[in-house]
Amino acid sequence: MTVKGTLFDFSGTLLRIEPTEAWLRAVLDEEGLSVPPDDFVRYARQLEAAGALPGGAAPQRVPAHLAELWATRDVSAERHRAAYTGLARQVALPDARLYDALYDRHMTPAAWLPYPDAAEVLGELRRRGVGVAVVSNIGWDLRPVFRAHGLDAWVNAYVLSYEHGIQKPDPRLFGTACEALGLDPRDVLMVGDDRRADGGAAELGCAVHFVDHLPAGERPSGLRPVLRLVG
């Protein structure tokens, strides 16, 4: 197989969301709120267990009234916000403003950290003439995050679930990305961290390579094998 194009997942593949504690602290500071240290630790632990941070830990349990919304959260901006703020509302935070403020925080460039080798790998792919598309299950526009972190210059196309009303593993989303690159799926490599969602690209004939969804500091070179696969 000659790889002419690459598709990359966003969260857990190219960039990683900040830790729950940093997320909560940033929002409390922005809102001018102070909580006792023991309460802060409890809120952070409960939010993490609830899965309220997009890109963070998965919910330990999805409440029955959110189950359908959770399953289709990435098909629209409205559903994405409702799903995650719904999970956050399982935690009794000290101010009702915090639920939307926490959601808003995760969409800011400051909440995301690129993996250490992301720029290197994307830049080398472009140098070799290999097309790059980002294919993400998401409910908001991640392009400003890529621009802020200096990664946008290496990306040819963005295919975001909420803009198409389709979420991975539906092969149509990967097909849209391949079309955006002008390539046959059999000439394309999909790189992601979710075997179910990102593995859907294989239905089209794409090769698939998985990376580990780890904190950025714990995965300094997880993307570099992609360069060997591309050849």
What CATH code is carried by the domain that includes residue 165?
3.40.50.1000
65 with 126, same domain: the answer is no
Count: domains in the chain: 2
Same domain, 66 and 164: no
Judgement on whether residues 207 and 137 belong to the same structural domain of the protein: yes
Same domain, 117 and 225: yes
Q: Are residues 209 and 143 in the same domain?
A: yes
Residue that is last in its domain, among 87, 110, 133: 110
Domain hosting residue 129, numbered range = 5-16+112-230
What pLDDT is stored for residue 231 in this prediction? 78
Contacts of residue 167, Cβ cutoff 8 Å, sequence gap at least 6 = 72, 74, 75, 137, 161, 173, 197
User: Which domain-ending residue is among 78, 110, 142?
Assistant: 110
* Residue 68 shares a structural domain with residue 141: no
Give the C-alpha separation, 106 to 100, whole Å. Answer: 10
Please give the average pLDDT of every successive group of 10 residues along the chain, which has 231 residues.
94 98 98 97 98 97 98 98 98 97 98 98 97 98 98 98 98 98 98 97 98 95 96 78
CB atoms within 10 A of CB 202: 15
- Statement to judge: residues 93 and 118 lie in one domain: no
DSSP state, residue 156: S
Q: What's the pLDDT score for residue 2?
A: 86
Do 94 and 171 belong together in one domain? no
Q: Which of 66, 87, 110 is the last residue of a domain?
A: 110
Q: Report the alpha-carbon distance of residue 131 to residue 154 in Å, rounded.
A: 9
